């Protein structure tokens, strides 16, 4: 499964809990906050000043390698 920027952080972590490490390394340290279930990855990236397209690509590359 691939993730996209319209998914919530909660949905993304449910795809694979290892994604949390990627999000944390990118500077998103609020994975447990209430907003994680209500805002999209794109919205969270905007708040944190993170390039969302790059983050999505990084996560999907990691998922592809893991599932290869």
CATH of the domain at 50: 1.10.3910
pTM of the model: 0.90
2 located within any domain: no
Mean predicted confidence (pLDDT) in 3-18: 94
Q: With pLDDT > 90 as the criterion, what percentage of the chain qualifies?
A: 71
- Predicted confidence at residue 35, as pLDDT, reads 66
Mean predicted confidence (pLDDT) in 19-47: 85
Question: What are all long-range contacts of 43-48, with beta carbons under 8 Å and residues at least 24 apart?
Answer: 44/9, 45/5
13 located within any domain: yes
3 located within any domain: no
Maximum distance among all alpha carbons in the chain? 33
For residue 9, the number of C-alpha atoms closer than 13 Å in the C-beta half-sphere is 24
Average pLDDT, the chain: 90
Answer for the pair 36, 9: CB distance below 8 angstroms, yes or no. Answer: yes
Answer for the pair 55, 2: CB distance below 8 angstroms, yes or no. Answer: no
4 located within any domain: no
The residue range of the domain holding 13 is 9-66
């Amino acid at each position: 499964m691939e993730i996209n920027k319209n998914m919530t952080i909660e949905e993304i972590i449910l795809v694979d809990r290892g994604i949390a490490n990627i999000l944390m390394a990118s500077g998103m340290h609020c994975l447990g906050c209430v907003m994680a279930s209500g805002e999209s990855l794109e919205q969270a990236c905007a708040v944190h000043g993170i390039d969302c397209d790059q983050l999505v690509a990084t996560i999907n590359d990691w998922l592809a390698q893991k599932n290869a």
